[in-house]
Amino acid sequence: MMVTIGDVAKAAGVSRSTASYALSGKRSISDAVRLRVNEAVKTLQYTPNAGARSLATSQTKVIGLLAQFLDDEFAPAMLQYILGVSNTARELGYDILLVTDADGTSALRRISDSRMIDGIVLLNVAENDPRLDHLRAAQQPGALVGLPKDCDGLDVFDLDFEEAGRTMVDHLHRLGHRELILISQPQHVIDRGGAYVWRLQNAALAAAEARNITLHTVFAPSSQPAVGDALNELLDAHPTATGLLINNEAAAAALPSVLHERGLSTPKDLSVLGRYSDEFARTFSLPFSSIESAPDRLGSMAVRQLVRRIEGEIGPEEPNVVRFVTPDLIDRGSTAPPR
């Protein structure tokens, strides 16, 4: 039979309301009473009834996470952001409703209008994202991981991709490199609004021009074997380039085997600097230095801000925030002065 709050109260020797307050923390309860209630919860394996809690508090303790596994993006990289959101939500006492519908606008409308969730986190944010108008109109607060063109009325968190591009070029410039290749996401990522690609690329181009560096910019596929073929073609096309900058996780994952097949090593023959998370590097055993993309940190920042709004720590009149994570360079020994 289902254990109720009444069963917990009886086992702890307190009233039903006292047991409820001890669990919710909404009223001051003595440590001794709280301990008895918690012991009763563990003994009886009590789980609060979500429906009853929702009726009593107008909260579901569920956060909607809208993410899409797009063909033009590398799925393992997207999972890093999802884990950052879900791990922090669990820490704060919230469950995640993961929604991956292709029609993100309809999905957002469905979960917000039905009051299934207390707040919403958006991933795969496009420059002119069609979901944003409905998010602004929703009764629940929302947070974005990714920078749209118009941030009005939204809490936004993203990596400083412009600074990442400058940092990548500056690092190799200080080592003496004067011809580089930048490998970005596929062209259609930009076409559908992936502004982070051109944000990094434009900043890298400007930095290269200011430092008299030749920077070849290319868009590579995000799946095998096409990305491996593209890497070989690039290295053949630019044999005098001494450094490789990678803003494409699939290309970074494919590069070790390509270099091995060509008999090349880093940093002896080619300096390599990528843009991905440390966890991603460990997962794929990547030996390349990289700009930390911080997906777990960005997801955590978005959820913490969202929960503060849900729980009233931040009032509806408080201004929204746009915050960038400063890129950190993790040195794994794959860059050196050119030969």
What mean pLDDT comes out for the span 17-41? 83
Biggest CA-to-CA distance, the chain? 80
- Closest among 74, 64, 77, 73 to 104, alpha carbons compared: 64
Scanning the structure block, which residue is given the tokens 């920042």? 301
Q: What SS3 string covers 255-269?
A: HHHHHHHHCCCCCCC
Contacts of 170 (CB under 8 A, 6+ apart): 207, 211
Which amino acid type is present at position 138?
A
- In the three-class reduction of DSSP (H, G, I as helix; E, B as strand; rest coil), residue 163 is classed as helix
Of 115, 18, 101, 111, whose CA–CA distance to 67 is shortest?
A: 101
Q: Residue 223 — pLDDT band, cuts 50, 70, 90? A: confident
Contact status, residue 197 vs residue 182, Cβ threshold 8 Å: no
User: Percent of the chain beyond pLDDT 90?
Assistant: 70
The pLDDT of residue 26 is above 70: no
User: Would you place residue 47 in the very low, low, confident or very high pLDDT band (cuts 50, 70, 90)?
Assistant: confident
8-state DSSP, 289: E
Q: For 148-191, how does the pLDDT look when each residue is reduced to its tens digit (9 = 90+)? A: 999 999 999 999 999 999 999 999 999 999 999 999 999 888 88
